[in-house]
Chain A
Amino acid sequence: MLDDYLKANLANWDEAVGVHVNSEMYDIAGFKAGKTSLHQIEIDELGPSVHEGTTLLHLQCHFGLDTLSWARRGAVVTGVDFSGEGVATARGLADEVGLSARATFVKSDVLALPDSLQSRFDVVFTSWGALIWIGDLERWAQVVAHFLKPGGVFYIAEFHPYVFLLADDSSRDSLRIGYPYFMHGGPQRFDEPDDYADREARMQHTVTFEWNHGFGEILDPLLRSGLRFEFLHEFPHTIVGLPFPFLELCEDGLQRVKGHHDDFPLSFSLKMIKEG
Chain B
Amino acid sequence: MTDPIPAEARAANLRLWNAWTRVHERSSYYDVEGFKAGATSLHPLELEELGALVREGTTLLHLQCHFGMDTLSWARLGADVVGLDLSDEAIRLARRLTDEVGLSRRAEFVCADLYDADAHLGSRLFDIVFVSWGAIEWLPDLERWAGIIARHLAPGGTFYMAEIHPFAGGLDEVPGEHDVRVKYRLLPAPDQPDVEPVEGSYADRCADTTGLVAYGWAHSFAEILGALTGAGLRVEHLHEFPTSPAPFWDWMVQDEARWWWLPDGEGGLREDLPLSFSIRATKPAG
A residues near B (Cβ < 8 Å) are 162, 165-166, 174-177, 180-182, 184, 214-217, 219-220, 223, 228-234, 236, 262-265, 268
Contact = CB atoms under 8 A, between A and B. Distances in A.
B240 interface: yes
B271 A268 contact: no
11 contacts: A180-B272, A180-B273, A181-B240, A181-B273, A231-B226, A232-B221, A234-B221, A263-B185, A265-B186, A265-B187, A265-B220
B277 interface: yes
Contacts, number: 91
Given A177-B180, A234-B222, A265-B220, A223 B236 contact: yes
Contacts of A180: 272-273
A265 B220 CA distance: 9
Among B179, B183, B218, B221, chain A packs the most CB atoms within 10 A around the CB of B221
Contacts of B167: 162, 181
Given A176-B174, A182-B272, A184-B271, A263 B187 contact: yes
Contact of A216 (B182, B229, B277): B277
B187 A216 contact: no
B149 to A, nearest CB: 16
Contacts of B183: 175
Contacts of A234: 187, 220-222
Among B174, B187, B218, B277, chain A packs the most CB atoms within 10 A around the CB of B187
A203 B251 CA distance: 44
B47 interface: no
B237 interface: yes
Contacts of A263: 184-187, 189, 218
A233 B183 CA distance: 22
Contacts of A162: 167, 182, 186
Given A180-B273, A234-B220, A174 B181 contact: yes
Interface string B218-245: 1011100110010000111111101000
A220 B238 contact: yes
A162 B185 CA distance: 12
A104 B185 CA distance: 44
A268 B225 CA distance: 13
A260 B242 CA distance: 25
B240 A214 contact: yes
B200 interface: no
B60 to A, nearest CB: 24
Interface string B200-221: 0000000000000000001011
A13 to B, nearest CB: 27
Nearest to B277: A216
